Amino acid sequence: MGDMYSAYIQSTEHRPNFSTFVEVDEIPIIDLSETSQENLVSKIGKACEKWGFFQVINHGVPKDLIIKVENEAKKFFELSMEEKMKLKRDVFNATGYYDAEHTKKTRDWKEVFDFLVKDGIQIPSSDDPHDLGLCTQTNHWPQCLPHFREIMEEYSGKLEKLSYKLLELISLSLGLAGDKFLDCFKNQISLTRLNYYPPCPFPDLALGVGPHRDPCVLSVVVQDDTGGLQVKKNLVGGWVPVRPIPGAFVVNLGDIFQVWSNDKYESAEHRVVLNSQKERFSYPFFLFPGPHIMVKPAEELVSEKDPAKYKAYNFGKYYANRTHADFTKQEDEGKEIHNFKILD
């Protein structure tokens, strides 16, 4: 896939350590058609507490829509590089197409297409408190695929609805009101992503995505049957595979919900390993609040015995800085949630 990918697999920085692979209980599978909300909330709470990851079935997203998304995504990634680069993203507009070779982002062996749920959102241009500038995030669409935009926007709308339902259940599992955080999503910058992981000739020397935690509230993703997604299970000291289940969505908590929960739930570390023979596709939705939101622990979960574990931070400036660091190939040191941790 190019000289940069060759350089990637020759380095050791992001080589997977398969000696830490472990087999334990599977990631929980939760049936959202459960008639007892009490049972459903209990199951989700246990999954969030133990894993920060779970899979959902009977979620209400039509199977035929998922198939349409898969077909359109494959058509997009089969386009010539010239066509895809017409939609390339940049430091000022983080929607559209990118891959490692053309964005200096050499950590991930994949190609990506991002689009916002709400088009034309304005976010701060940096995390500098004296910088009052705003960047407008605008979706780009391939003109040569006439049904692409319509299908992707329908899929994104269904995933947004599902995410709100999951957020309600997760909030209830903490003893909070189901709509506790709903007002945070006015002018949200949630986005949907299409991931394409090409076959890798040396899968033991590279990763599709290196170990990371998602900076969002939660992620909802459908993956194909190739597999490769793994979750870090600290209690057993290794990586646990997330088994592909036809029609299921994988759900994981993000950093924002870890802060909101005051560390009662954790944003789990995860990665994607590669396959030498098969390509892999996945289609995640990332639920983000509006850029004006100050992220801090929920007041109901803070007490004298259990004080706030994080300082408040402005999400828009945090997001802008992460995006800038990504494109300039800088380390986003000081921009992870542990840097907002209140030390004892």
Q: Is residue 9 predicted with pLDDT exceeding 60?
A: no
What secondary structure letter does DSSP report for 27? P
What average pLDDT does range 29-35 have in this prediction? 97
Q: Distance between CA 109 and CA 274 in Å, rounded?
A: 8
- pTM metric for this prediction: 0.90
Identify the bridge partners of residue 271 per DSSP, sorted by sequence position.
Answer: 230
- Going along the chain from its start, the domains and CATH numbers come out as 3-340 (2.60.120.330)
Label residue 300 by pLDDT band (50, 70, 90). very high
Percentage of the chain with pLDDT > 90? 69
Is residue 288 within 8 A of residue 191, CB to CB? The reply is yes
What average pLDDT does range 307-328 have in this prediction? 83
Q: What is the DSSP string of 259-315?
A: HHTTTSS----EEE---SS--EEEEEEEE---TTPEE---GGG--SSS---B--EEH
What average pLDDT does range 107-136 have in this prediction? 78
Scanning the chain, the segments in alpha helix (DSSP H) are 3-10, 37-50, 63-77, 81-85, 100-103, 148-173, 255-260, 315-327
What average pLDDT does range 24-39 have in this prediction? 91
What Rg, from alpha-carbon coordinates, does the chain have? 19
Identify the bridge partners of residue 121 per DSSP, sorted by sequence position.
Answer: 137
Label residue 21 by pLDDT band (50, 70, 90). very low
When the pLDDT of each residue in the chain is averaged and rounded to a whole number, the result is 88
Q: Is residue 344 predicted with pLDDT exceeding 90?
A: no
Q: Is residue 3 predicted with pLDDT exceeding 60?
A: no
Label residue 104 by pLDDT band (50, 70, 90). very low
Label residue 286 by pLDDT band (50, 70, 90). very high
54-68, 161-175, 225-239: lowest mean pLDDT where?
225-239
Sheet of strand 270-272, all strands in order from the earlier edge strand to the far edge: 209-212, 270-272, 229-233, 238-241
pLDDT at 325: 61
